[in-house]
Amino acid sequence: MNELERRARQGDQSAFEQLYRLHARRVYALCLRLAGDAVEARRLAQDAFVRAWERLPGFRGDSAFTSWLHRLTVNVVLADRRAAGRRRRRVMLDGDAADAQPAADAWSPERMDLERAIAALPAGARAVFVLFDIEGYGHAEIAAMTGIAPGTSKAQLHRARRLLREALSR
C-alpha cells in the first residue's frame, strides 16, 4: 500500500481525491462496457467511488489498490443490475410489462463499431463478454460474481460472441 492509499484509508479526503483523479477514467470505462450506456456508466462510476470511500478503511492492501477498486466496481455494477431486474419484475407483475421492455436498438451497419456492438448485447451476455474477454475473469469467478452457473457463463459468452460476429459482419 502506497502513502496516498494509506492516507486515504485513514480518512484523508484530499488523498482520496487524488486516487479518484488517477482512477476515474478506468472505472468509467469499465462501467461503460458493462452498462452499455454513457449516462448509466457515469452514475455507476460515481456509485463505485462512493462505495470505495465507504469501504476504504477495510482495504488491507493484500492486493493492488487498482485490483481492489476494479473488483468493487464490478460488484457495484452487478448489484445495480440485480436491483434493476427486481424492479423490472415488480413492474411486470403489476401488468406494465410494455414499459419494462427496452426498445429494440437498431443494429444499423453504418453506425456499428465494436463498442456499439458490445453495448447492444443483451445485459447478461454483455456482462459475461466484458468480464471474460476484456477483463480476464474465468467462468467460475464470473459465476460467483453474477450468481449464475459456470455453464450459463459459458453459454452467455458463446451467445455474445455469436451476436458480435453477426453485428460486425453486416
Q: Are 141 and 67 in contact (CB under 8 A)?
A: no
Find the range with the poorest average confidence among 3-7, 81-85, 134-138: 81-85
Other Cβ atoms within 10 Å of 122 Cβ, number: 13
CATH class (in words) of the domain with range 105-170:
mainly alpha
Dump pLDDT digits (tens) for 25-44.
999 999 999 988 899 999 99
Report, as an integer, the average pLDDT of 52-67. Answer: 91
Q: Are 78 and 146 in contact (CB under 8 A)?
A: yes
Each domain of the chain, given as residue ranges in start order, spans 1-101, 105-170
Q: What's the CATH code, domain 1-101?
A: 1.10.1740.10
